[in-house]
Structure 1
């Protein structure tokens, strides 16, 4: 029976792409099984605030540009609609691993996922999404859940090596924020003692600077980039990326007129990629139109692809037939 109250879900399509919406009295979350399991809506209903940044290029169906095409950047970038992507088994730039050429942020973000309803009651709704990679022998699953009375999304992800060989991977949550939620001057909070690693020194040797109790150090970055990482910069500030690690517990908060708290299993994803594109890039693919910050829990670093993560010892290792489990929770602070 369809419900218009308490926890409920709807299945349908958006722009011809399979979609499912989970919602309750306070929150509406839309996920695209037909496009990598992307989260393209995270709407706090009482304040009409969507925490998802939507790219100016809009939603594009990835089926018109298959993963693994000769251009290893286009499958992700040309179909990047913003939101929240699952990244596996390659993070960042195209890379080659044991003879498999992996596209940028490939493979699962560009594949259609199977979708199965696993809970549908006034108390909670949940769906299980699943997919197998094509270049490497992995199976990915995630259950996304919304419970009545909360403004929170719960996620349990599983990555399984379906071969009898030990393998590596990069696993990340490509979460970005933008307007109307993201505003200059909003504060970013982290646990005490987190380490900041500038991009230039992320491979070897790592230059580490400690952020204690929310007081962030100044971090020199290429192009005169990020300095005070605790404050969301003004439009036009330089583009940049740094990596954070040393989380005793995986969490961060962004607080302004309204806030969000993201918690995750830092034993599986020990790094947080902090990426900003605030309008300074006037060429492909941004054309000066983006105002967004990514705070992305990841298994590995840097954003140079799986081969670089294997070389620096940060790649996720999965033994024969091993499954890694990762839990996350994103909750609105109002």
Structure 2
């Protein structure tokens, strides 16, 4: 299968074999699409490939939610074999199996001996992503890990707020283009979007991913690759500060045969329906 549609009466997600990408997450009570997509997201795949992997990633980027592993961003020059921009996992075609409300995606990377299994399930108004990474090689492996959900720009209107823990995440008024890397020890981020009619709460294991990358691309870049047409805000849990370490793929390590697991959840409520203290 090249894609699975999973869902409930509240949420419907579409999972693609290409990068195990969640290409759509729709909140049915408000008919709101929560994930961003590029204007060219439905274009057919073409044979032309730019020589630089960062340029090719951005030229071909379709939006949605990717897993970035074993590296977010550019690979260190010393990495051997070299990694593509944002890591091999996001470029690979994964094996998909699934049911009405759950999908399993699996892949074994070739640049590093890591096997990844990713279970995505929809439970009422919640998307749950459970990921296991296992070292199938004979030597220790160091790697990085980041989740890359790009949220639809229309969630971030003038009345919207974004918080991690008890702190407001600063966003520039659209049109805007920026990137920041924040400490996120609470392991959560909440988008309160009254104009869109929803509140979106993302939670994760801050012990594994203590950083939050904030990528704002709301029609603020007029040149390649966005041409002023991309409207998205990425709120991305990550294991390492962006761009570091400079001499390795990341600070995480697995011994031969060892596994590490992660659970990320995203809950969607109508604005005003969130109980006090809910996370």
State if a TM-score over 0.5 links the two structures.
yes
Report whether the alignment pairs 1:275 with 2:251: no
The alpha-carbon deviation at position 21 of structure 1 amounts to 0.5
In the alignment, does 2:78 pair up with 1:111? no
Residue 146 of structure 2 corresponds to 172
Shift of residue 138, structure 1, vs aligned partner: 1.1
Aligned to 1:329: 265
Q: Write out per-residue CA displacement over residues 92-129 of structure 1, whole angstroms, 9 at most, x where no aligned residue.
A: 12434542111111211111111123x55xxxx32211
1:296–1:145 distance in 2 versus 1, CA, 3 Å? same
Which residue in 2 is equivalent to 1:76?
57
The aligned residue for residue 9 of structure 1 is: none
- Provide, for residues 233-290 of structure 1, a one-character-per-residue CA deviation record: whole Å limited to 9, x for no partner: 32223x222222251x311100012110001111111111111112222111111112
Q: Secondary structure of the equivalent of 2:155?
A: coil
Unmatched runs of 5 consecutive residues or more in structure 2: 271-279
Aligned to 1:287: 227
1:300 paired with 2:276, answer no
Structure 2 residue aligned with 1:140: 116
RMSD, matched Cα: 2.2
Partner Cα distance (2:6, 2:248) in 1 = 37
Question: What residue ranges of structure 1 are gaps of 5+ in the alignment?
Answer: 1-11, 13-17, 192-212, 217-228
Greater relative contact order (Cα 8 A, min sep 6): structure 1 or 2?
2
Cross-structure match for 2:180 = 242
**TM-score, scaled relative to structure 1:** 0.74
Residue 89 of structure 1 corresponds to 70
SS at match of 2:213: strand
Judged with a 3 Å threshold, the aligned counterparts in structure 2 of structure 1 residues 169 and 61 are, in CA distance, closer, same or farther, namely farther
How far residue 165 of structure 1 moved from its aligned partner, in angstroms, is 1.2
1:206 is matched with: none
Q: CA deviation digits over 1:195-232, x for unaligned, max 9?
A: xxxxxxxxxxxxxxxxxx33x4xxxxxxxxxxxx34x4
Bigger Rg over Cα: 1
Give 1:70 deviation, angstroms.
3.7
**Closer, same or farther: CA 132–276 of 1 in aligned 2, 3 Å:** same
* Distance (whole Å) between structure 1 residues aligned to residue 89 and residue 173 of structure 2: 33
2:13 pairs with one of 15, 21, 29: 29
Q: How many residues are matched?
A: 267
Structure 2 residue 135 is the aligned partner of structure 1 residue 161: yes
Alignment correspondent of 1:184 = 158
